[in-house]
Amino acid sequence: MCNMNKNHLLTLFFHEGSRRQEKEIQTHVNQCKECQDYLLILQQTHQSLQQWNDESPPSNTLDSILANIPEVPEIQKKPAAAKPGLSITPVFMIPFAIGLILAIIFFLRDKITLLPFLETLKTSWLGQILGSFGVTAMLFFLLGICVTLALTPVLIMESRSNKHRYKYSFI
């Protein structure tokens, strides 16, 4: 079996290489029966293709194709419903969320005072500055930050998979 690359034989057949390359390839072809057969097939195929007449399509081909395409009925667009610039719902949701957070903090303030590390925190300068409400708020927001960071990879992957559904990324 010959290990000569067939592209080298094409280089020889179409005279695309340098004289030195063609001479090396020709030396190999003179000694290899398989490469001689391949070049013979290339030559026969090339001669067969040269005998064909060039044919061009009639000049009205494009017009006849375009004439046979059926017309697509025009799609009637429905008018979009007018949306208010600012919805009332978020305006009420913000104070509600703030109130809910404050209520949770007030509820947890008494529960956190039972924790053993609170006594140490009360004697520290941070605990004295913030007080029991501030410590509870700080722990609450720290918990929220941890939950948010834990969910970040999931939210990013979900937003990437749903990106094609929405026109705007904030929806």
Place of tokens 């067969």: 48
pTM of the model: 0.33
pLDDT at 40: 92
pLDDT digits (tens, 9 = 90+) for 69-101: 888 777 777 776 666 565 666 667 777 777 777
More confident site: 110 or 163:
110
Q: What is the pLDDT of residue 43?
A: 92
Rounded CA separation 47/49 (Å): 5
In the chain, what are the domain boundaries? 6-51, 92-161
Angle in degrees, CA 81, 82, 86, rounded to 5: 135
- Higher per-residue pLDDT: 166 or 153: 153
Residue with tokens 């013979």: 40
DSSP state at residue 166: -
- Name the residue with higher pLDDT: 104 or 67: 67
- 8 vs 109: which has the higher pLDDT: 8
Q: Identify the top-confidence range among 49-53, 89-93, 130-134.
A: 49-53
Q: How far is residue 59's CA from residue 36's CA, in Å, rounded to a whole number?
A: 44
Q: How far apart are CA 103 and CA 96, in angstroms?
A: 10
Q: In the predicted model, is pLDDT for residue 171 greater than 60? A: no
Kindly write down the DSSP assignment for every residue of 37-76, as one continuous string.
HHHHHHHHHHHHHHHSPP----TTHHHHHHHTSPPPPPPP
